[in-house]
Amino acid sequence: MLVNRFILSTLVMVFSFISLPSFAGQLLTEFPEKIDPKAKYVFYSHGFIVEGTNPTPKHPKFGIYQFPDIKEALAASDFNLIAYHRPAKTNPQKFAIKLADDVRKLIAGGVDASQITLLGFSRGGAITAFASSNLSMEKLNTIMMASCGGWIKNRPEVKLAGNVLSIYETSDSFGTCKTLIDRSEKVKSFKEIAITTGKQHGAFFTPRKEWLEPVLEWINSDKNK
């Protein structure tokens, strides 16, 4: 009996030291040097206020934009997060072309479009929409957060494709993306969530659970079955 207990305890110790496969993603600020064709990739595009050199600028009404905290919160999952810090006076259309080209590079490297998500807030959401429209891929995933405003009516050529998630704050002036979706013939699936924090646009300045949890859940769901 003593021998059996010794063997059992030894086996427990051995298995406890066996390293299980890790599926934790990477936090990247530049396009990856090496592409993992089996990994998921998410591009996060921040709001206008972060353009420049300060990763935590303060808005007089909405408070501090916690870009580093948002990146860390999003990266604490099983996908690779690519979060560029855009320079001041970035041209949204030109940067959207860069995003679209980056998606094409991932696909050329063996990543399936269903494993790629474009995620953007406010100005970053508009850039995300431009990139998604440029790509027009039915397996691509697009997330718009507080991004749908008057600019949509002024850019009728912008149409999304694939799987789309929209999240907006009920106290904010940026609302539903239904107008954009209604004219986007290639959208495969659409889900929209309204959150209520009372923080207006500032609801997305920090990694609040109200938007973070549904974003992570949606990214990790199987939308292409």
The identity of residue 88, as a single letter, is A
pLDDT at site 222: 81
Return all residues near 163 (Cβ < 8 A) that are at least 6 apart.
Answer: 139, 140, 141, 142, 187, 188, 189, 190, 223, 224
224 falls in which pLDDT band (50, 70, 90)?
A: low
Q: How many CB atoms lie within 10 A of CB 18?
A: 6
Q: How many CB atoms lie within 10 A of CB 98?
A: 15
225 vs 180 pLDDT, higher one: 180
The identity of residue 108, as a single letter, is A
Mean pLDDT (the chain, rounded): 90
Q: What's the rounded Cα separation, in Å, for the pair 225 and 222?
A: 7
φ and ψ at residue 192, rounded to 5 degrees: -130, 135
User: Worst-scoring range by mean pLDDT, 98-107, 128-137, 148-157?
Assistant: 148-157
Name the residue among 118, 44, 129, 124 with its Cα closest to residue 82.
44
> Three-state SS for 143?
strand
pLDDT at site 187: 97
Assess contact for 202 and 62: CB atoms under 8 A. Answer: yes
Helix (H) or strand (E) holding 2: helix 2-16
Q: Phi-psi category of 146—alpha, beta or left, where left has phi over 0 and alpha has psi -120 to 50?
A: left
- pLDDT tens for each residue of 7-36: 444 433 333 333 334 456 899 999 999 999
> Three-state SS for 116?
strand
- Domains annotated for the chain, with CATH where assigned, are 24-219 (3.40.50.1820)
The proportion of the chain whose per-residue pLDDT surpasses 70, expressed as a percent, equals 88
Alpha carbon 174 to its chain centroid, in Å, reads 18
Assess contact for 93 and 85: CB atoms under 8 A. Answer: no
**pTM score:** 0.88
